[in-house]
């Protein structure tokens, strides 16, 4: 991943590679469910503000909201679940869903539920480490990773490189540059 200055639910499914460009018709608002399963305090107000500003910036960048399989397109106000976890949980989820035996910064799980966009699981200790390595605040890194994970939920992918990765990073960098002032 490129870095610039920068009620309990279980994950539903791993984000799949798509051969088509993501289609997105931005919901005006999202219903956010924020869950903290970590020892790190969750900056709830920041996350709400970030998401409120991020949606119009994504539209401005040309993103069309439909998500993986378009499951949420019928919902007027689709739900997005954002979960903070500790390192052990992050490692378990990454091993289970991606076959990688280490904690990762963000995992995106698309939903089959028509009222939900999906779930972002962020590993707080990894977010904090990456923030420190980049000389950034926790909030700056958290916002960047929420944006990154959200783009995955919309069907964008970078793991296979090429034009899809360049498009995802172009949008991510453009939107992040506009949103950074919130941090």
If you average pLDDT over every residue of the chain, what do you get? 82
Q: With 0.85 as the threshold, say if the pTM is over it.
A: no
- Asked if 13 and 110 count as a contact pair (C-beta separation under 8 A), the reply is yes
CB 67 within 8 A of CB 154: yes
Sketch out the chain's domains with CATH numbers. Answer: 31-182 (3.40.390.30)
Question: pLDDT tens for residues 53-74?
Answer: 999 999 999 887 654 444 445 5
At 126-144, the pLDDT tens digits run 999 999 999 999 999 999 9
State how beta strands 116-123 and 106-110 pair: antiparallel
pLDDT value at residue 133: 97
**Regions of the chain short of the pLDDT cut 70:** 1-28, 65-76, 182-183
Per-residue pLDDT at 28: 54
156 three-state secondary structure: coil
137-173: buried (b, 16+ CB within 10 Å) or exposed (e) per residue? ebbbbbbbbbbbbbbbbbbbbbeeeeebbebbbebbb
């Amino acid at each position: 991943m490129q870095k610039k200055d920068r009620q309990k639910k279980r994950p539903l499914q791993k984000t799949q590679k798509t051969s088509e460009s993501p289609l997105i018709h931005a919901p005006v608002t999202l219903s956010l469910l924020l869950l903290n399963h970590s020892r790190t305090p969750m900056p709830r107000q920041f996350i709400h503000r970030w998401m409120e500003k991020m949606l119009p910036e994504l539209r401005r960048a040309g993103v069309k909201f439909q998500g993986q399989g378009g499951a949420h397109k019928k919902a007027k106000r689709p739900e997005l679940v954002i979960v903070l976890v500790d390192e052990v949980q992050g490692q378990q989820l990454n091993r289970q869903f991606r076959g990688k035996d280490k904690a990762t910064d963000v995992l995106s799980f698309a939903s089959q539920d028509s009222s939900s966009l999906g779930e972002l699981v962020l590993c707080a200790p990894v977010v904090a480490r990456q923030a420190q390595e980049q000389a950034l605040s926790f909030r700056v890194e958290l916002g960047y990773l929420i944006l990154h994970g959200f783009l995955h939920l919309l069907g964008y992918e970078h793991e296979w490189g090429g034009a899809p990765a360049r498009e995802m990073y172009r949008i991510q960098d453009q939107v992040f540059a506009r949103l950074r002032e919130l941090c």
